[in-house]
């Protein structure tokens, strides 16, 4: 009996809320279960899927809060690029 754990942060979801909707959770569970059926031939009724929603404040990347890390990373990508001379 396979057990799949899906971890997602509780922010910036597609629905715009601070957590996944029941529809989004159902889609994740269905997709993970189908993947195990397709790849490992595990029956859907024998597959358990756990969705763990993590508050961003409980997640660090490189020792800094993940939201600060993402902002830092985004600012690097937003810096204007030099135009080639020509």
Check which CATH number belongs to the domain holding 28 and give it.
3.30.429.10
Residue 43's domain comprises 3-78
Q: Does some domain include residue 70?
A: yes
Q: Residue 16's pLDDT is what?
A: 62
**Mean pLDDT over all residues of the chain?**
86
Q: Does some domain include residue 63?
A: yes
- Domain tally, the chain: 1
Q: Does some domain include residue 84?
A: no
Candidate from 35-39, 45-49, 60-64 with smallest mean pLDDT: 60-64
- Share of residues in the chain with pLDDT > 70 (%): 84
Q: Does some domain include residue 83?
A: no
Q: How far apart are CA 10 and CA 13, in angstroms?
A: 7
- Under the banding of pLDDT at 50, 70 and 90, the label for residue 83 is low
Check if the beta carbon of residue 18 is closer than 8 Å to that of residue 24. no
Q: Does some domain include residue 40?
A: yes
Q: Does some domain include residue 20?
A: yes
Q: Residue 19's pLDDT is what?
A: 81
Q: What is the mean pLDDT of residues 14-43?
A: 89
């Amino acid at each position: 009996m396979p057990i799949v754990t899906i971890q997602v942060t509780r922010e910036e979801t597609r629905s715009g809320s601070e957590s996944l909707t029941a529809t989004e959770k159902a889609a994740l569970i269905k997709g993970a279960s189908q993947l195990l059926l397709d790849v490992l031939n595990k029956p859907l009724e024998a597959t358990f899927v756990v969705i763990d929603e993590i508050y961003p404040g409980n997640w660090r990347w490189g020792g800094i809060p993940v939201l600060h890390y993402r902002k830092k990373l985004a600012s690097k990508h937003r810096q204007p690029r030099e135009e080639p001379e020509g």
